[in-house]
């Protein structure tokens, strides 16, 4: 399978495959695939694909993704920017009462400069783990990963490889014979 890196093409393909992706999510849940097996396959493809994609050439996640900041994230930004927590909140963040979480006022991220993060060492935790493929527990994040397929070339390609590998099996029992 060829690696797709053009973000416009990825966006279009993700929209075309939206039903297929949600169907695949249902398939995984119905088959009761052991979570550690899915984690293994996703992490295998993540390492392979992430090595081939330069995120600084894309930075689409910084342009389109809503990042939620925790108190610790705000404290790190405050220290890095040498501003008070209140100044950081007033200058860059907004909070919705119903979820009590902070997010950036606008998109793209206010710290994105020439496709690079100007606060990289103190970036929010959500940024450090994006697109959430390198951690265990992929089955619990499938909805978020499917949404990331439209934004991130790594997420799109990993999910396509995952579908190809698992859906190529004849039935759910074949999955038990993995690895």
Average pLDDT by stretches of 10, the chain with 179 residues: 93 96 92 87 95 94 93 96 96 84 92 96 95 92 94 97 83 55
8 Å CB contact between 78 and 84: yes
Structure tokens given for 86: 């209140």
Q: Say if 1 falls within a structural domain.
A: no
**In DSSP terms, which residues pair with 104 in a beta bridge?**
93
Query: Same structural domain for residues 137 and 155?
Result: yes
Query: Same structural domain for residues 142 and 156?
Result: yes
Q: Say if 96 falls within a structural domain.
A: yes
Query: Same structural domain for residues 87 and 125?
Result: yes
- How far apart, in Å, do the first and last CA atoms of the chain sit? 21
Query: Same structural domain for residues 36 and 120?
Result: no
Q: Say if 75 falls within a structural domain.
A: yes
Query: Same structural domain for residues 72 and 101?
Result: yes
What pLDDT is recorded for position 179? Answer: 46
Q: Say if 137 falls within a structural domain.
A: yes
Q: Say if 90 falls within a structural domain.
A: yes
Q: Quickly tell me which residue has 């934004």 as its tokens.
A: 151
Alpha helix ranges (H) inside 51-167: 55-58, 60-64, 71-81, 85-92, 125-129, 142-148, 153-167
pTM metric for this prediction = 0.89
How many structural domains are present in the chain? 2
Nearest to 146 by CA among 2, 8, 10, 9: 10
Query: Same structural domain for residues 121 and 138?
Result: no
Query: Same structural domain for residues 44 and 90?
Result: no
Q: Say if 48 falls within a structural domain.
A: yes
Query: Same structural domain for residues 105 and 72?
Result: yes
What residues contact residue 126 under an 8 Å CB cut-off, 6+ apart? Answer: 67, 68, 69, 73
What pLDDT is recorded for position 100? Answer: 78
Structural domain of 106: 66-129
8 Å CB contact between 73 and 178: no
Q: Say if 2 falls within a structural domain.
A: no
Q: Say if 167 falls within a structural domain.
A: yes
């Amino acid at each position: 399978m060829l690696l797709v890196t053009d973000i416009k093409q990825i966006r279009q393909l993700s929209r075309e495959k939206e039903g297929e992706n949600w169907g695949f999510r249902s398939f995984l849940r119905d088959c009761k695939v052991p979570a550690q097996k899915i984690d293994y396959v996703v992490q295998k493809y993540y390492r392979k694909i992430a090595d081939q994609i330069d995120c600084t050439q894309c930075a689409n996640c910084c342009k389109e993704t809503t990042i939620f900041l925790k108190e610790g994230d705000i404290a790190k930004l405050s220290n890095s920017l040498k501003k008070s927590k209140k100044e950081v909140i007033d200058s860059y963040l907004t909070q919705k009462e119903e979820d009590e979480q902070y997010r950036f006022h606008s998109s793209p991220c206010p710290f994105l400069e020439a496709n690079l993060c100007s606060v990289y060492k103190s970036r929010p935790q959500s940024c450090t783990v994006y697109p959430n493929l390198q951690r265990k527990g992929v089955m619990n994040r499938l909805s978020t990963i499917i949404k990331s397929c439209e934004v991130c070339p790594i997420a799109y390609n990993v999910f396509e490889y995952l579908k190809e590998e698992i859906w190529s099996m004849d039935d759910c029992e074949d999955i038990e014979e993995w690895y």
